[in-house]
Amino acid sequence: MNLEGEQMRVGILGATGYSGAVLFSLLTQHPQITKIDLYGHANREPDRRRSLVDEVPAYSNIHAQLLPFIPQTIMETDDCLFCATPAGITKDLMEPFIAQNFPVIDLSGDYRLKDPLQYKKWYHKEPPAEQLLTKADYGLSEFLNHPKNYIANPGCYATATLLGLAPLVLEKLLEPDSIIVDAKSGVSGAGKKLQPSNQYTFINENAFLYKINEHQHIPEIMQQLHKWDPTIPTIHFTTTLIPVTRGIMATIYAKAAPQISVAKIQEAYLHSYSHSPFVRLRNETFPTIQDVKGSNYCDIGFNYNPQTNVVTVVAVIDNLLKGAAGQAVQNFNKLYGFEETTGLPALPSFP
């Protein structure tokens, strides 16, 4: 659909978490959006009138109440619904929206996986109905064309990993069984809920490996990789929490396919991303998390070691922007035919 010039009203379910609050901030600056309605989770008491500032004191100048979640009312009021909820919420709430083909951009993991058994295995929750999963598009923006009205926004680790790997996988430049991903994330990736690992006294001046080969973003990574190259059997995937607030660095190692060269690698990345406004290529230098903080960019660099025949790729993103809210706005722009960069920061925050 193309609504260039149209003024829109949108809703956010779950605006009080980190991703939801960042999403709200972005949408307030989007030139096509004139009104944002905020909705609480269905398990909240509908008569308890809470406001955004109750949950996000930084937005003290915003007087926006959290409205009760009533699907039909939302569909009659808003043009699109964003869901910035933890996994396990939207799977029980989205059926009326899917039934009426109402536009939804879902930042949770509930509709990313096409196989309901995979969702149950990795998320340890009952999955949505399989017929509902078929209605959702996996929204990796750089590879999302003509999206359906239900967009399942990718996970943050998945975004960095897939953007780093895509050109090499699509051009068959890697040995399929050799991919190792060492991904590191800032503390905001765990959300606002207090856990022992995200307390200051634990993570300050520390690093913590968790969910080794068990992270819930692995199956969506594999699902997309299999679309690009069905011969990839699996990947080795480690995740590390590091003492920064926001940011992801995915360091990817893989054996090179025969007769690879630096020139072939460069050509593959240029071919994939020459028209992608939010992917910045460093070629043979490596980016840092600070290079993308506060932006919707994914910066990518690589190195090829002919002695070991190993390609190393580093992809960095801001987990709350390109890894969540920023990519959601990018997908919103693609869904409605707006310029892909509309409403998104033109530059990272610096210093």
Positions marked active-site: 156
- In a domain, residue 146? The reply is yes
List strands edge to edge, sheet with 236-241: 208-210, 236-241, 180-185, 248-255, 310-317, 298-305, 279-283
> Residue 5 has what pLDDT?
60
**pLDDT exceeds cutoff 80 at 4:** no
> Residue 283 has what pLDDT?
81
Give the pLDDT confidence of 185-239 residue by residue, as tens digits: 999 998 878 888 889 999 999 999 999 999 999 999 999 999 999 999 999 999 9
Place of tokens 């503390």: 187
> Residue 46 has what pLDDT?
47
Residue 170 and residue 162: Cα distance in Å, rounded? 11
Domain that holds residue 244: 157-319
**pLDDT exceeds cutoff 50 at 45:** no
Q: How many residues does the chain have?
A: 351
- In a domain, residue 187? The reply is yes
Give me the chain's average pLDDT, please.
94
Q: What is the mean pLDDT of residues 322-331?
A: 98
Whether residue 147 sits in one domain with residue 232: no
> Residue 334 has what pLDDT?
98
Give percent above pLDDT 70 in the chain: 96
Q: How confident is the model at residue 1 (pLDDT cuts 50, 70, 90)?
A: low
**pLDDT exceeds cutoff 60 at 149:** yes
Number of domains in the chain: 2
- Cβ neighbours of 234 (radius 10 Å): 12
How big is the chain by its Cα radius of gyration, in Å?
A: 20
**pLDDT exceeds cutoff 70 at 47:** no
Any idea what the CATH number is for the domain that residue 93 is in?
3.40.50.720
Whether residue 120 sits in one domain with residue 167: no
Q: Which of 331, 329, 336, 338 is nearest to 29 (CA)?
A: 329
Kind and range of the H or E run holding 310: strand 310-317
Whether residue 139 sits in one domain with residue 194: no
Beta-bridge partner residues of 248? 185, 317
Q: How confident is the model at residue 44 (pLDDT cuts 50, 70, 90)?
A: very low
**Does 31 sit behind a cis peptide bond, omega within 30 degrees of 0 on the bond before it?**
no
Give the pLDDT confidence of 255-279 residue by residue, as tens digits: 999 999 999 999 999 999 999 999 9
Any idea what the CATH number is for the domain that residue 214 is in?
3.30.360.10
Whether residue 161 sits in one domain with residue 150: no
Whether residue 138 sits in one domain with residue 193: no
- In a domain, residue 342? The reply is no
Whether residue 92 sits in one domain with residue 33: yes
